[in-house]
Copies of this chain bind each other. A is one copy, B any other.
Amino acid sequence: MSYAADVLNAAHLELHGGGDAELRRPFDPTAHDLDASFRLTRFADLKGRGCKVPQEVLSKLVSALQQDYSAQDQEPQFLNVAIPRIGIGLDCAVIPLRHGGLCLVQTTDFFYPIVDDPYMMGKIACANVLSDLYAMGVTDCDNMLMLLAVSTKMTEKERDVVIPLIMRGFKDSALEAGTTVTGGQSVVNPWCTIGGVASTICQPNEYIVPDNAVVGDVLVLTKPLGTQVAVNAHQWIDQPERWNRIKLVVSEEDVRKAYHRAMNSMSRLNRVAARLMHKYNAHGATDITGFGLLGHAQTLAAHQKKDVSFVIHNLPVIAKMAAVAKACGNMFQLLQGHSAETSGGLLICLPREQAAAYCKDIEKQEGYQAWIIGIVEKGNKTARIIDKPRVIEVPAKD
């Protein structure tokens, strides 16, 4: 009991200034009586890969199954419902309910530690799950569950320090989103895993089906790219052979700033972005996560009703991370749009005449920029990045 209180006091200390990641001190393991070398990110050995099953593998597996299903069940069991049933491929499932025109909008996500601060990791995981709801224009979440796997390689001490901090971060983020965490599941696993489930029960006018893009729309992105590059570069500070590959293009100070900008960005909710989608008549959106900007843009394009394509001209990237990505050769594929992001921004199709106002409004409300990064053309439901996209360097806030 008093021990738990100690852990939480330490968490409070780090929260100097009240939760704003910019003001947050770096996580200090020794303040929690852990070894100075403790790194949460070492409890998952992804070796630079993203944690997701590759998109093409997944769609092959899933589509084989879906086809088989439709061939097997002759009854059109999805066709008798008034509200369209949205399934695999988009950010959320939308399920019509038995009760008065309501539907369930639901999503789940989980992944491995990407930052070393357990409290921030909890916040990021929560923001990342909620982001799928926000991408559908849903602004209120009715319930969250937490999914947690504790690493088998953690000592009992490490576990007792880290898990309450992760849980607290997750819950604080849920609180900020106006929702609560009422349950979940905890298991042991070689890799530490964290994620959750977010559910909303709402009227059909509360969500925006992301299939209404028209020629002439523009594409807005609400957070900078480069989170994966930043968290990797930050880990390399301790690894001379890695660091040598990038030290000609960045200083340690640059990387620390980028890392804090990334943590800040990943833990920021896309909730205001979702609210403004209604105000400015968005035609659809997706959130940028494991499959990178282009991967998610392509999925969104493929789901459009009209014959449109997305063309991306600008890439807003956390300052210096484009240079780091280039110095690493093809490893991240950041400028090709394939670098995984965690809890990235919303990519939104907006009427051209509304987009600037959208960006101005979000900046006024939150103090963060959004960018017009591309256009919607006539086309065959694909997405691409132009040959030499303009990289917009997004500085860390001071």
Contacts and interface: CB of A to CB of B under 8 A. Distances in A.
A93 B164 contact: no
A389 interface: no
Copies in the complex: 2
A187 B97 contact: no
A396 interface: no
Given A64-B1, A111-B187, A147-B110, A85 B182 contact: yes
A369 B68 CA distance: 36
Interface in A135-194: 142-143, 145, 147, 150, 159-160, 163-164, 167-168, 171, 180, 182-191, 193
A108 interface: yes
Interface string A46-61: 0001011100011011
A109 interface: yes
> Which of A5, A8, A111, A185 is most buried by chain B, counting CB atoms within 10 A of its CB?
A185
A4 B63 CA distance: 10
B51 A8 contact: no
A77 B182 CA distance: 13
Given A106-B143, A183-B106, A187-B51, A65 B99 contact: no
B183 A51 contact: no
A320 B93 CA distance: 45
A270 interface: no
Nearest to A45: B190
Given A53-B188, A109-B185, A110-B187, A147 B145 contact: no
Interface of A: 1, 4-5, 7-8, 45, 49, 51-53, 57-58, 60-62, 64-65, 67-69, 77, 85-88, 92-93, 95, 97-100, 102, 104, 106-111, 142-143, 145, 147, 150, 159-160, 163-164, 167-168, 171, 180, 182-191, 193, 195, 197, 199, 201
Closest 9 CB pairs of A and B: A4-B64, A93-B182, A93-B183, A190-B190, A95-B143, A53-B186, A87-B182, A51-B187, A108-B145
Given A8-B64, A106-B182, 11 more contacts: A4-B65, A5-B68, A53-B150, A53-B188, A61-B160, A65-B168, A95-B143, A100-B100, A108-B183, A190-B190, A197-B197
